[in-house]
Amino acid sequence: MTQARQQPKLPFGEHGELTEETIRRAKLTREEKKRAYAMLEAQSAFLQILDCLSYPVDPDGHVHDLNHMKPTNIAIAWTLALNGFRQTGPVHIKKRHFTSGGVYADAHTWVDVRAPDTAAEELQPEHTMWDTSLPPDTRKLAAQRDGQEPVNPQPEWHTKPKIVREYAPRPEGME
């Protein structure tokens, strides 16, 4: 009776991705190893692209919440990574975490890489909530400081959806 060769238990990264350790322990052929290292690089690019797609900012400075499109973000990031997109140019923006009632725990805005790490550090006496050149977190602090209600550029959902289920027989020939 022959025993089936058992594959060793392989370690993966925190997101389930390949690691150098995974490749070393997988007992791959030279060609398989070469392909695995290429995929390791693509996975790294994928994770960087995916990270950049969280709360992206358009050219007018509007932050977009794409949390409802996670599978689409994953598809876009994976396709770009497999097509060779890599971060090669200088970085001009960085994430700055944004906390407030009613926002996701991982919410952040993108600010100039030279900007302070918190909105409180950035806030100056001359800043107002109407200054659209400021990030939303700084405008919010300016509004609070000035005793004004912060402007919500994207109004919250206010209409409760009504779902109607209709069961009707299918037309002839569509069974």
pLDDT at 118: 92
Tell me, what's the pLDDT at 7? 60
Q: What integer pLDDT is reported at residue 169 of this predicted model?
A: 83
Averages of pLDDT over runs of 10 residues in the chain (175 residues) are 61 81 88 92 93 87 85 94 92 86 81 92 94 87 88 58 81 74
Q: For residue 27, which amino acid is it?
A: K
Domain ranges of the chain: 11-89, 90-152
Q: What is the pLDDT of residue 5?
A: 57
Q: What pLDDT is recorded for position 159? A: 66
